[in-house]
Every structure is written in C-alpha cells, then in structure tokens.
Amino acid sequence: MKNIIFIAPPAAGKGTVSAKVCEKYNIPHISTGDLLRDEIAHETKLGIEIKEAMAKGEFVTDEVITKLLKKRLSAKDAKKGFILDGYPRNITQAKIYDELLNELSYEMGMVIFLDISKEVAMERALSRIVCSKCGLSYNLLVKELSPIKDGICDACGSNLKARTDDNEETFIKRFDTYMKETYPLIEYYEKKNNLVKINVNDKSADEVFDEVNKIINNKKTK
C-alpha cells in the first residue's frame, strides 16, 4: 500500500511532487479541505451542518473531519494507496489517523518530510510572478520560465509586478508558523520510525520525484 503524507513547508514543492506521484502510481490525492468543500457543495446532511457551523464562526470538529476521512479512505480507489493532504495537522489528529488506519487494516505508510531551508524557500517563493492581467506564471529562477523582456508579460504585454503576494516579511512569518505548528508532528513520526527526510534545497522537481520513488519502492508494501 502506498499511503503517503508529505510534510512540506511553503515553497518546498509539495504540489508538484504530489501530482507526479498520483499520476505514476494511479492513487488519489485526498485533501481534507476538498472533502469539506465537496460535502458542502453536495448539500448532504453533514454538509449542511458544516455550513451552519462555519456560518456561526465555529471550527469544524475533528469528529466531522474523521467521519469524512473514514468514508473517503474506505473508497475502492484508495485501497492501494493515496496521498493525504492537509491532514494530520496536529498530534491529536495524528493519533486519530493512526486509529483510522488500524480500523481500516491499512498500514501506516510513509511520512515524507520535504526539508528545505528558510532561505532557499524564500528565494523560490519570491521568484514566482503571476501576471495580474492574464494569469500567466513565471519563475525567475528558471531561464525558460522567465519573461523574455524583463518585467513585461510575454502573453499580454502588461507590466509584471516584481513580487507575488508574499514579501520577505510575510513569507518568513508563514514559514516560521508552519514549522512551529508542524514540528511536533515531525517528532511524532520520527519516534514511530515513520519519517523519511529528503533535503530538497539543491534538488530540482525531477530529482525530488526520483528520491520519493526510491522511498516508495524500498518500502515493503502489503
């Protein structure tokens, strides 16, 4: 079974590697955010409850998320594996997840930490530019993905803003908050001997994908 959780700070490349893994192994990408949104969109009994709770400014309880997650993980397409996104966010959820896997007779799977330094992450994040007019995206760290003319959108000719939503200050805050909130999880999975670290600082997306493949294939699967 290939059930995978990525622990990844902002700009570590989780989205890219997740998409590649799902495609190669034909496993679903399961996001608790999507599960909640789907439930609300389909106006199920639970979905209506969630919507009402959110309208009152209440948090969605672990009980609700667990219920949705259990239903989704039990589905046929998840039996040979999945990538779980946005969960667990804390130790309480990690323990609930352990129980859930147990109930479903699923193995623990792999927790892969995409380890990136704050400096590299910031450089990457701030090198992304999206044209505010046409939505075309650029990456100043990659020659092929940079605009042909500095500061001008190739597609529509409008001025490209130098930076994305993030500036250094907001990025550092986002990164530090993530690490602070996630550190207990890293420790938790380290203790369980379930954590594999990949240093992604000097790796391209393809190289990170290669490392992930090695981890997936070295792991004995039931």
* Residue ranges binding Zn ion (CB under 5 A): 131, 133-134, 136, 153, 155-156
Nearer residue to Zn ion within complex by CB, 134 or 141: 134
Catalytic residue among 20, 70, 80, 89: 89
Name the residue nearer to Zn ion (CB basis): 142 or 155.
155
Dump the DSSP string for 92-118.
Answer: HHHHHHHHHHHHTT----EEEEEE--H
CB of 154 to Zn ion, least distance (A): 7
Contact by Cβ (8 Å): 17, 121: no
Tell me, what amino acid is at 24?
A: K
Catalytic-residue membership of 14: yes
Distance from C-alpha of 82 to C-alpha of 36, rounded to nearest angstrom: 18
In the complex, the smallest distance separating the C-beta of residue 139 from Zn ion, rounded to whole angstroms, is: 15
Query: Which of 104, 145 has the CB closer to Zn ion?
Result: 145
- CA-to-CA dists, residue 184 to 92, 93, 113, angstroms: 11, 12, 13
Minimal distance in Å, beta carbon 158 to Zn ion?
Answer: 5
Angle at alpha carbon of residue 94, lines to 99 and 203, rounded to 5°:
130
Nearer to Zn ion, 158 or 182 (CB): 158
Bridge-based pairing state of the strands 137-139 and 128-130? antiparallel
We find the least distance from the C-beta atom of residue 165 to Zn ion, in angstroms, to be 17
Q: Which is nearer to Zn ion, 131 or 198 (CB)?
A: 131
**Choosing from 163, 197, 203, 219, which is the catalytic residue?**
163
Residue 91 CA to residue 7 CA, distance in Å, equals 13
Rounded CA separation 33/42 (Å): 14
Take residue 17 and report the two structure tokens written for it. 């590697």
Least Å distance, CB 135 to Zn ion, is 7
Annotated catalytic residues are 14, 89, 128, 163, 174
